[in-house]
Amino acid sequence: MSARMTEPVVALSHITKRFGDFIAVNDLSFALARGSILGFLGPNGAGKTTTLRMMLGIFPPDTGTIRVLGRDVGQVRERIGYLPEERGLYKRMRADAAIAYIATLKGMRRGAALARARELLKEFGLGDFAQVRIEGLSKGMAQKVQLLSAVVHDPEFVILDEPFSGLDPVNQTELEAFIRKLAGEGKTILFSTHTMQHAERLCDRLLILAKGTKRFEGTLEEARGLLPRRARIGGEGDLSFLARLPGVTRATPPAQGQPHWLLDLKEGDDGRALLAACFARGVPLTHFDVSPPELHDVFVALVGAGPQKAAA
Amino acid sequence: MTHAFLIARQEFIKYVTRRGFWLSILMFPLWIMIVIFVPQWTGGGHDNAPHALTIVDRSGGFYRDAILQQVAQDTEDRELAAAAHYAAAFVDFGQLPRSTAQMLAKPDTVQARRAYRSLGMVVLVDEMTAALKPGAPFFGPPGARFIYVPPSRELLAARGAALDFAVTRTLRDGDGPLDIDAVVVIPEGFGPDSADGAQFWRGKNESDLRALVTDSLTLALRLAVAQRYAPVLRNRDMLTPAVIDTLSGPAILDIRNPNRAGGRETSMDSIVPIALAIILFVVSVMNSSVLLQGVVEEKSTRMIEVLLSCATPREITSGKLIGVIAVALATLLIWAAVFLALITLVSQDQAAMILTSLKAVVSLGTLPLLIVYFLCGLLIYGTLFLAIGSMASSLADAQSLLGPSMLILMLPNLLIAPVMRDPNGPLATAFSWIPIYTPFFMMLRISSHPPLWQIWATAALAIATTAAMIVWTGRIFARHVLTTERPPALGVLLRGLLGRRG
């Protein structure tokens, strides 16, 4: 493998960014391997957009270094695609011209850019709307146009800031497929979101940010491994003895709409002891499962925790 | 710079495809036309006092007589027109002599003029009085619009600089109680082939006189051509009006102003610089406002973020400013074309006069300076508006910043009158050294021949200021264009301009 293929597409080293007295990003470091999809997670105000803007060269970091595609970002702008969180296009521009304009700024020739824009619009079912002004498109259509303008120039690295926000479920599914397609073509994708389901379905790796500080970086499995497993047990008779078992840290009895006992297990406990205890007491079970925590739970736990405690 | 030009192209297309752009483009020449012509059409541009004219004809008297004939003709036309107007309302045409009735019925014809000349005002009034309808008011014939005052001995005798002095004194002191509004000096040898034009020295109220003198000298030159060539041509039919026109051409007056060094000036030398300065102001404000709105819109739609992911802040600001320059130049070209087309349709004489005046102000020597002043003025406005747009999170925010800025920038418009009264005086000179005002004041002064060192030094200062404003605007843009907060405090802004962290 060549060095170009093995070097990270993005490498941030000890990045800090302040706005006045406010620390937006604090000593952030991470690297992103070529061809991967990184989910950039964090609550509002976590510093996600600021970090993305630094990666795009819109802001310089106060301290630390950023290398994108092995170079300073100013030298590789044309190899990056960017979809901003709040969609912005010139309302009076035609759809094809709007996409082509961004493409020309990314180094494509105008004729080729216009042809490629029309090709993409056709591919996305907007062929008949190529000559329509942005202000005449529906919100969903305009968002597609914006997305196409981020990838029209065939970038190696694509940054998508909250790409799913404002999309209906059908369009969300289409966008997920499109992101997978881009990854399949070898592009490296970084997208920020606070919708956990998308991250769970799409990402190879996750980076969780809160209050400007990295709280976690790793795979989905590694993230889930941060919290103990949870058991759901349903059966006939009194199951309150489960709360007193040594492997259980917290027990929630059945409530309205929740027919099972919910049992948080100690770290490393796989729940077999629970099953054995039920059998020993002759409890007829109607439901039993032990599952890793949802990413949502991990996210809430990490974001609520202090930075040093939860950092991977 | 590729990015800057791509952005400039986009800005240009964005602005010129707006309906408002074309409306404003077409409105301004119409507005200028209204300002020029409505007072003339409504008579508002004239006063009722007669304009007094003195003529020094060193060519023998032929051209003086031609002007005087035109003066007499003008008086006769006015009298006849007034009498016809009165008669139409108050005279019973059936009781008038037939020839008089015909004359009053069609006063614009050559026959009517001839009839009136042989009849005279006294007889005409007698005939009309005999045919008055009951209750008719008294008829008072209008006074002459132009009066000829023979030149003084001093004027007739003076030559060279003494003549300039004598003319200046005549225009300043008048002839007894009578103000002299213009002095015409026709040089020796004046004619269709002469290099020297007739001097027209402006007094206080000379605009109608100038047209009268131009018309009468043009007719006289045609007559001189006809008289010169008729005896030597076998076929006199060859002397068609078109041929005569070609040989004689229109009379070009050498307009002079006694208040200026050397006296010489173009026929509209006070109007052209004012027009240039006002056009600079209007073009700058118009296009810079659109620039500001565009930036605020890009901020609100987050398009600016997309642009910043493609180009540096300096490329974006450069592109936007180049775009504004392109739009401004297009505006000027379209305005010039529309204005000239309209004015040619309305009055070819006015069009010729304006072109002549423009040529005199916009010469090869002054053109580079005018371009520099124009670009500096435009860029100073453009950078200021761009900086305001990048700091404002909404149009309301922008307005709050724009208000005080406009008060400062509008100052030159309020000082046009005093500056034009004394273009090289202390007020005009002092304001010319304030870089943000330099383009406007130097445009106003350019035809008044300010000292050369002042021209180049103020131009250099304006260029340096413009360059600094471009750099500062780039910094403000980079620092504030992505913020959605209220505009920064002045101290924070100044620290940012100086490159310090705030």
Test the A interface: residue of B309, B315, B316, B482 with most A CBs within 10 Å: B309
Residue-level pLDDT at A153: 93
Residue range B347-377, pLDDT digits in tens: 666 666 677 667 666 777 778 888 899 999 9
Contact A142, A87 (CB under 8 A): yes
Distance of CA B44 to the CA centre of its chain: 17
Residue-level pLDDT at A103: 94
Residue-level pLDDT at A15: 94
Residue range B370-401, pLDDT digits in tens: 889 999 999 999 999 999 888 887 888 888 88
Decide if A13 touches B, using CB distance below 8 A.
no
In degrees, to the nearest 5, what angle opens at C-alpha A124 toward C-alphas A121 and A127? 40
Decide if A91 touches B, using CB distance below 8 A.
yes
Residue-level pLDDT at A227: 82
- For residue B266, is pLDDT > 50? no
- As a whole number of angstroms, the distance between CA B474 and CA B469 comes to 8
Complex confidence, ipTM: 0.81
**Cβ contact (<8 Å) for B301 and A149?**
no
Residue-level pLDDT at B205: 67
Residue-level pLDDT at B32: 75
Residue range B87-140, pLDDT digits in tens: 998 999 889 999 999 999 999 888 898 899 888 888 998 899 899 888 888 888
- For residue B311, is pLDDT > 50? yes
- As a whole number of angstroms, the distance between CA A177 and CA A287 comes to 35
Tokens of B401: 């910043």
* Residue the block writes with tokens 């950092």: A311
- For residue B222, is pLDDT > 60? yes
Residue-level pLDDT at A109: 93
Please state, as a whole number, how many other Cβ atoms lie within 10 Å of the Cβ of residue A293.
19
**CA distances (Å), B236 to each of B192, B223, B226, B266, in order?**
19, 14, 9, 38
The alpha carbon of residue B3 is apart from the nearest alpha carbon of chain A, in Å, by 6
Residue-level pLDDT at A308: 43
Question: Which DSSP string do the residues of B238-301 spell out, in sequence order?
Answer: G--HHHHHHHH-PPPEEEE-TTSTTSB--TTTTHHHHHHHHHHHHHHHHHHHHHHHHHHHHHHH
Tokens of A277: 């205890």
HSE toward the beta carbon, residue A177, CA cutoff 13 A = 7
Residue-level pLDDT at B45: 46
- For residue B177, is pLDDT > 80? no
Q: What is the pLDDT along chain A (312 residues), one digit of tens a residue?
A: 455 556 788 999 999 999 888 899 999 999 998 889 999 998 888 899 899 999 999 888 999 999 999 889 888 999 999 998 777 788 889 999 999 999 999 999 999 999 999 999 998 889 999 999 998 998 888 888 999 999 999 999 999 988 888 788 888 888 889 899 998 898 999 989 878 888 888 888 999 999 999 999 998 888 888 888 888 888 888 888 888 888 888 888 888 777 888 888 887 777 888 888 888 888 888 888 888 888 888 888 888 765 544 444
- As a whole number of angstroms, the distance between CA B324 and CA B308 comes to 19
Strand order in the sheet with B51-57: B146-148, B51-57, B182-186, B198-202, B253-256
Residues of A in contact with B502 (CB under 8 A): 20
pTM recorded for the entire structure: 0.67
Backbone angles phi, psi at A37, to 5 degrees: -115, 120
Task: Work out whether the CA dihedral B263, B266, B268, B271 comes out positive or negative.
Answer: negative
Residue-level pLDDT at B233: 64
- As a whole number of angstroms, the distance between CA B382 and CA B477 comes to 13
- As a whole number of angstroms, the distance between CA B467 and CA B458 comes to 14
Residue-level pLDDT at A17: 93
Which residue of B6, B18, B303 is in closest CB contact with A88?
Answer: B303
Beta bridge partners of A22: A19
Beta strands per DSSP E along B83-178: 146-148
Beta bridge partners of B393: none
Q: Which domains does chain A have, with CATH numbers?
A: 3-69+156-223 (3.40.50.300), 89-150 (no CATH), 228-292 (3.30.70.100)
**Cβ contact (<8 Å) for B305 and A74?**
no
B489 or B169, greater pLDDT: B169
Residue-level pLDDT at B417: 81
Residue-level pLDDT at A76: 92
Residues 144-163 of A with CB under 8 A from B: 149
Pairing of strands B51-57, B182-186: parallel
- Report residue B270's pLDDT band, with 50, 70 and 90 as the boundaries: low
**Cβ contact (<8 Å) for B310 and A84?**
no
Which residue of B3, B302, B308 is in closest CB contact with A86?
Answer: B302
Residue-level pLDDT at B458: 92
DSSP state of B446: G
The alpha carbon of residue B33 is apart from the nearest alpha carbon of chain A, in Å, by 33
Pairing of strands A80-83, A157-161: parallel
Which residue of A88, A91, A105 is in closest CB contact with B302?
Answer: A88
- For residue B501, is pLDDT > 70? no
Query: What is the four-CA torsion angle of B20, B22, B23, B24, rounded to 10 degrees?
Result: 90
Determine the length of chain B.
502
Kindly report the three-state secondary structure assignment for every residue of B322-377: HHHHHHHHHHHHHHHHHHHHHHHHHCHHHHHHHHHHHHHHCCCCCHHHHHHHHHHH
Please state, as a whole number, how many other Cβ atoms lie within 10 Å of the Cβ of residue B477.
24
Test the A interface: residue of B293, B305, B390, B501 with most A CBs within 10 Å: B305
The alpha carbon of residue B379 is apart from the nearest alpha carbon of chain A, in Å, by 24
Residue-level pLDDT at B411: 86
B303-318: burial string, b at 16+ Cβ within 10 Å, e else? bbbbbbbbbbbbbbbb
Strand order in the sheet with A230-235: A248-252, A261-265, A230-235, A285-291
Residue-level pLDDT at A305: 60
Residues of A in contact with B310 (CB under 8 A): 77, 102, 105-106
- For residue B4, is pLDDT > 70? yes
Beta bridge partners of A159: A82, A190
CB pairs under 8 A between A and B: 62
A199-209: burial string, b at 16+ Cβ within 10 Å, e else? bbebbebbbbb
Residue-level pLDDT at B55: 92
- For residue B46, is pLDDT > 50? no
- Report residue B499's pLDDT band, with 50, 70 and 90 as the boundaries: low
**Cβ contact (<8 Å) for B309 and A56?**
yes
